[in-house]
Amino acid sequence: DIQMTQSPSSLSASVGDRVTITCRASQSISSYLNWYQQKPGKAPKLLIYAASSLQSGVPSRFSGSGSGTDFTLTISSLQPEDFATYYCQQSYNTLDLTFGGGTQVEIK
């Protein structure tokens, strides 16, 4: 199994802050890394696929980077609607897809 480790598990930030979330894979996964946003009581929503491609309709303040084992999701200027939990997912092994443990972004 490919293990995905996110850090931090939670963070507090203010509106307008730049926020960075990290995801590390237990082995190289090239650029096969996706990011999802989940709000309480709602289904996850795709933000970024293939490490750095922005899903259609997702605001440009979201960006993704990285390859190999280390990846980053950045929110350039945090907005009120961005307070949520964020998950990374590796899709290198498409027959055993795994998610990170999640990062909860809270209001400071």
Residues forming contacts to other proteins in the complex (CB under 8 A) are: 32, 34, 36, 38, 42-46, 49-50, 55, 87, 89, 91-92, 94-102
Q: How far is the CB of 81 from other proteins (least distance, A)?
A: 18
CB of 55 to other proteins, least distance (A): 7
Contacts of 54 (CB under 8 A, 6+ apart): 47, 48, 60, 62, 63, 64
CA 82 remoteness from chain centre: 12
CB of 76 to other proteins, least distance (A): 22
Residue 52 CA to residue 18 CA, distance in Å, equals: 17
Is 36 or 78 the residue whose CB approaches other proteins more closely? Answer: 36
